[in-house]
């Protein structure tokens, strides 16, 4: 019999301040489980969490624009198997007039020069945390969540939202943040000068990952008052780490993966949504690239959240490997 090490449950949350019908987000919550073959489990499909991992740190992972949560299920399952609870939200909204999309949840007004830093721009984080508190107090996952060890992650736009909102007063219990294919560029449409960057909170250890074949970033520079292709695929990510992230705790990392493109973190591929047509082709197999990304993310989480010094050393060795990683930096 299979041991059913990872299971998931669904929840929905109201998102305050959003007009209907865009005022709801659905959540798929992955957790380490231990199947006991009880009558209740057979009847309901509800498998209890594995007490060996409890209470589990919780990763909230924000998706890219028009990328469904199924694109990150492989990552959520892998992290849950290592003892993390992983929350994948899904929300449809019209955040820019005339454009309705699957979104990480963004309050664009909070990014304006006169408002940035005064309130969260992530609309789903507060309701997700309230839902996690409710799950931890009663029901299937009661007592299994460590809400003092929260991690905020994301991909693409979701990664940028994670970076901009990595503040402990906005997300109590936050211990670390990570992203792939994301940066801190401030759009000129919001009133910022060319090449401007949002200053990042820099309150917790941060892992920024990218690919040297990221055509989506390279071909979107017009959003930031620059010519598309003016910089290479890695420049925006590197500049954000070097200039926008003012953390000097020797616990934050930048890694640019050789051969990876903007969508290398998302699998299976879905060409029906998003902007894969402006991306560059990956030059290494997706299985290899995802393995490298998973290893980096899990080692970072074990080091920054669980205090595993061996994981930190393994992460440094991994990112320092010129065979797989084009750029490695630490601060």
Residue 293 lies in a domain: yes
Let me know if residue 27 belongs to a domain.
Answer: yes
Query: Which bin fits 37, alpha (ψ -120 to 50), beta or left (φ > 0)?
Result: left
249, part of any domain: yes
* Total domains present in the chain: 1
Mean pLDDT in residue range 29-43: 86
Residue 59 pLDDT > 90? yes
CA angle (87, 315, 177) in 5-degree steps: 35
Q: What is the pLDDT of residues 140-184, one digit of tens each?
A: 999 999 999 999 999 999 999 999 999 999 999 999 999 999 999
pLDDT of amino acid 38: 83
CATH number at residue 289: 3.40.50.1820
Say how far apart CA 118 and CA 110 lie, in whole Å.
Answer: 8
Q: Is the pLDDT of residue 65 over 70?
A: yes
Model pLDDT for residues 244-266, shown as the tens digit of each residue: 999 989 999 999 999 999 999 99
Can you tell me the distance from the alpha carbon of 127 to that of 124, in angstroms, rounded to the nearest whole number? 6
Instruction: Judge whether 198 lies within some domain.
Output: yes
User: Coil, strand or helix: which one is 122?
Assistant: strand
Digit-coded pLDDT (tens) for 189-203: 999 999 999 999 999
* Structural domain contains residue 226: yes
Q: What does the pLDDT read at residue 46?
A: 86
- Structural domain of 254: 6-330
Q: 79-94, pLDDT tens digit by residue? A: 999 999 999 999 999 8
- Distance (Å, whole) CA 242 – CA 135: 38
Say if 1 falls within a structural domain. Answer: no
Closest alpha carbon to 45 in 53, 54, 35, 55: 35
Q: Which whole number is the average pLDDT over 44-60?
A: 93
Task: Estimate the crossing angle of helix 286-304 against helix 309-319, to 10 degrees.
Answer: 140
pLDDT at 3: 60
Is 24 part of a structural domain of the chain?
A: yes
Q: Is pTM beyond 0.95 here?
A: yes
Q: Quick one: pLDDT at residue 2? A: 55
Higher pLDDT, 42 or 208: 208
Whether 48 is covered by a domain: the verdict is yes
């Amino acid at each position: 019999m299979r041991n059913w090490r990872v299971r998931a449950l669904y929840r929905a949350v109201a998102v305050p301040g959003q007009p209907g019908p865009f005022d709801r987000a659905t959540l798929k919550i992955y957790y380490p489980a231990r199947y006991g073959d009880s009558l209740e489990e057979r009847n309901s499909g509800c498998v209890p969490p594995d007490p060996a991992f409890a209470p589990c740190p919780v990763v909230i992972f924000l998706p890219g624009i028009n990328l469904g949560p199924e694109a990150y299920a492989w990552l959520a399952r892998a992290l849950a198997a290592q003892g993390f609870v992983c929350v994948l939200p899904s929300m449809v909204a019209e955040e820019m007039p005339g454009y309705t999309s699957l979104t990480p949840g963004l309050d664009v007004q909070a990014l304006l020069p006169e408002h940035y830093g005064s309130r969260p721009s992530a609309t789903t984080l507060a309701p997700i945390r309230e839902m996690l508190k409710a799950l931890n107090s009663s029901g299937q996952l009661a007592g299994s969540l460590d809400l003092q060890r929260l991690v905020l992650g994301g991909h693409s736009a979701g990664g940028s939202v994670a970076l901009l909102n990595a503040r402990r007063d906005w997300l109590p219990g936050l211990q670390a943040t990570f992203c792939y294919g994301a940066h801190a560029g401030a759009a000129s449409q919001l009133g910022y000068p060319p090449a401007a960057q949002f200053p990042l909170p820099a309150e917790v250890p941060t892992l920024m990952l990218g690919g040297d074949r990221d055509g989506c970033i390279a071909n979107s520079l017009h959003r930031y008052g620059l010519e598309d292709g003016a910089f290479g695929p890695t420049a925006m990510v590197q500049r954000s780490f070097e200039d926008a992230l003012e953390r000097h705790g020797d616990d934050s990392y930048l890694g640019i993966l050789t051969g990876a493109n903007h969508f290398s973190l998302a699998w299976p591929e879905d060409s029906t949504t998003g902007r894969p047509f402006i991306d560059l082709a990956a030059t290494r197999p997706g299985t290899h690239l995802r393995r490298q990304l998973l290893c980096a993310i899990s080692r970072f989480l074990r080091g920054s959240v669980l205090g595993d010094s061996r994981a930190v050393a393994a992460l440094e060795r991994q990112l320092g490997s010129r065979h797989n990683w084009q750029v490695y930096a630490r601060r």
